[in-house]
Amino acid sequence: MREDLQHAVKLARIELTPEEEARLGSQLGDILKYIDKLNELDVKDVEPTAHAVPLTNVLREDQPGKSLSHEAAMRNAPQTANGLFIVPKIVE
């Protein structure tokens, strides 16, 4: 797999087997070649569409709402202890 795609794999934190790497590398190469099509467009003076609807100032009042019970919050956790979500040791 080419280096720039490998870098993306690393950023995305997805472990690949060597054959996945080879297969995805080749498929993504084709896909990237296809999307290069967009370079044909003249977009010099075009505004990007960042939002699907032209809304602004959608806010909510600073009023308390419902929280989950502690049990519901932890219900799906792979590992817990002392009310905390447990993960492998974080080293700074």
Binders of other proteins in range 36-55 (CB under 8 A): 37-41, 43, 46-53, 55
For residue 14, give the nearest of 34, 33, 28, 31 by alpha carbon: 28
CB 90 within 8 A of CB 77: no
6-35 mask for other proteins (x: CB under 8 A)? -xxxxxxxxxxx--x--xx--xx-xxx-xx
Q: Which neighbouring-strand residues pair with 80?
A: 85
Binders of other proteins in range 57-76 (CB under 8 A): 57-68, 70, 72-76
Choose, by CB under 8 A, the member of 3, 18, 22, 91 that binds other proteins: 91
CB 79 within 8 A of CB 86: yes
Q: How far is the CB of 22 from other proteins (least distance, A)?
A: 12
